[in-house]
Amino acid sequence: MKFAVISDVHGNLPALNAVIEDAERERAEQFIFAGDYCLSNPWPDECITRMKNLNKKYSIRGNEEKYIENLIGKDQSTWTDGQMQISYWCYQKISPENRDYLLSLPTQMELTFHDVPLHISHSSEDFILDSEHKEWGTAKVAERYQKRFISPQIFREDIHRYLDNDLQFQERWKTLPEGVYIFGHTHTQWSYQSDDGKKILINPGSCGLPLDCIDQGVPYTLLDISSEGKIEIQERRVPFSKDEYLDVFLQSEQFERANVWSKVIVKELKTNREHLSFFLWFAEEYAQKIGDRARPFSVSTWEQAFELWQQGLGE
C-alpha cells in the first residue's frame, strides 16, 4: 500500500494540486493528511474541498482548525482588530459544509496496514515530546541557517546528527513501539528510522508554506508498506513556480482583507523560512512600549508595528 503523506496545506491550492498530481503519477493509493488546511494562503475553502473530495484518504485536524472552531457563534460585529483579520476572513470564506467537515475530523488517528501500525497526529510532541520543537521549530531553523538556502541533504544530515546525540530524544525513541509515526506542524521535511526499518518518524513538511530554508519546490512524502510489512519512504519535492503564485496571491481578496498577515506570508514564501514569529514578538514589544494593552492587537498597533518591523527595526 502506497500512501502520499501531506501536511500543512494552509490554503495553498496550487501547491496542493501539484502535490496530489505528483502523488497520483507515482501511483499513490491512499492519502494521509496531517492537518492545517487553512490560514495563511488565499484558498482555504478550495483546499478543504479538494482534500474532502479525494476518495481514499485519512485526515486529521491541526492547530489552525482550532482558530476556526473558536469563532463559531461569535458576534462578527466585534471582529475589528488587526491581528485576527486572517482568521475572520478564513472563517467567512469557508462554506458551512466545509467548516462542519473540518471540525468533524479527529485530532489523532491509529491505523494498521499489513500488520504495520500507523500513528497520526499533527505535532511530534505527541510522540517524542519537545525533542523536535525545542531546537528544530521554524524560528530555530531560521536562526540556524540565517538567510541562506540549504539542500535537503544538509537539512537531513543536520537534524539526524542532532537527534542521534540528543539524550531526551534517544530515551523517548527507545520506548516507542514499532510502527510509523506521522506528524507535521513545523513545516520542515524530515524522517528518522531505526536500523531495522521497523520504527519510523515522518514529517512530510508543509506543501503550502515550506519553512525549512530549502528552495526546491513543495514537499510531501511517499510511504510504501508491502504486503510483507516492509516499509519504504521517499521524500519528494514538487516543482512550483513561486513567482507565478505570488503574482496571483498579491491580487487576492485575502491580501486586501488581511494585508499585514499576507505580507508576512509573502516574505515567508519568498525565503522559505519563518518570519511570522519574529514579527509577532516585535509587535508585542512595540505594543508594550506604547502602552497598548489591547489583545488581539488593534488595527493601528498591528499596522504600525509592521511598518517599523519592515524598516528593519525588528529584524
Per-residue pLDDT reduced to its tens digit, 268-295: 999 999 999 999 999 999 999 999 999 9
Rg (CA), the chain: 20
Q: Look over the chain and give the mean of its residue pLDDT values, rounded to a whole number.
A: 97
Using a 10 angstrom Cβ sphere, with 0-12 exposed, 13-18 middle and 19 or more buried, the burial of residue 269 is: buried
| pLDDT value at 7 more than 80 | yes
Per-residue pLDDT reduced to its tens digit, 90-131: 999 999 999 999 999 999 999 999 999 999 999 999 999 999
Q: How many CB atoms lie within 10 A of CB 199?
A: 18
Contact in structure between 280 and 296 (CB atoms under 8 Å): no
> How far is 239 from 292, CA to CA, in rounded Å?
44
DSSP three-state, residue 144 = helix
> How far is 11 from 231, CA to CA, in rounded Å?
31
Q: Which long-range contacts (CB under 8 A, 24 or more apart) does 46-52 make?
A: 46/13, 47/9, 47/11, 47/12, 47/13, 47/16, 47/208, 48/94, 48/98, 48/101, 48/102, 49/98, 50/13, 50/16, 50/17, 50/20, 51/9, 51/16, 52/98, 52/101
| β 30-33/57-59 pair status | parallel
The average pLDDT across 187-191 equals: 98
Written as one string, the DSSP assignment of 3-14 is EEEE---TT-HH
> Dihedral of the CA atoms 247, 238, 160, 135 (nearest 10)?
20
Confidence of residue 315 (pLDDT cuts 50, 70, 90): low
